[in-house]
Amino acid sequence: MTIERANSIEIEALALARRSGWPEDMRVLLDRYPREKWEAHANLGEMARFWLPRLQSVLDQLNVHHQIEDFHYFPIFRAADARLAIGFDVLEGDHHHIHAEMARTAKNANALLRALRSDTDTLRRCSDGYADASAVLLKGLIRHLDDEEDLIVPLILDRGEEELGVAHHG
């Protein structure tokens, strides 16, 4: 069975800066497995927990994390439930956006560091630029992580890690 990728209009409608969560048609499994039930679910194993560590864990190895998701796990999850395929396309697009925002934040951080010995106006401008860039990055990361968890964990709870072929055996 071939699952077609979402078109650019569908993906753009769910862009990271625009969405405040998944629309109803993407919440099919989340409604069955709400967040408050995840911890007690029998299918919550190591693989599902891969998506639950928060910001610091993701930032430490963000590029590798995104490559693992984009090239290994997302194709498996897309194939497991075609109703969620657009969500994985959107999440892949988020990765590009997040990396761009990280670069913008780093650029602003470097400008702020250079401005530490500058006049007050330059320092204030650079501080504001860094604060703004950091806020956009953090907001996008939090939205992305919540949305990623809201697709993946319920899918794993519904199917189980073994059935999906993503169980860790160690």
Report residue 117's pLDDT band, with 50, 70 and 90 as the boundaries.
confident
- Enumerate residues 6+ apart whose C-beta is below 8 A from 34: none
Instruction: List the Cα angle 32/37/41 in 5-degree steps.
Output: 95
**Residue 150 CB: number of other CB atoms within 10 A?**
21
Question: For residue 168, what pLDDT is reported?
Answer: 83
**Residue 62 CB: number of other CB atoms within 10 A?**
15
| Cα–Cα nearest to 130, from 149, 153, 112 | 112
Give per-residue pLDDT as tens, 40-64: 999 998 888 877 786 455 566 788 8
Give per-residue pLDDT as tens, 69-102: 999 999 999 999 999 999 999 999 999 999 999 8
Every domain of the chain and the residues it spans: 11-16+24-164
Task: Name the pTM for this structure.
Answer: 0.75
Question: For residue 49, what pLDDT is reported?
Answer: 81
What single-letter amino acid sits at 128? D
- Alpha-carbon distance of 133 to 130, in angstroms, equals 5
DSSP code at position 7: P
Q: Are 98 and 140 in contact (CB under 8 A)?
A: yes
- State mean pLDDT over 149-154: 97
- State mean pLDDT over 122-139: 95
Is the pLDDT at 4 greater than 90? The verdict is no
- Alpha-carbon distance of 48 to 79, in angstroms, equals 17
Question: For residue 62, what pLDDT is reported?
Answer: 84
Q: Are 86 and 6 in contact (CB under 8 A)?
A: yes
Lowest mean pLDDT among 28-32, 36-40, 58-62, 125-129: 58-62
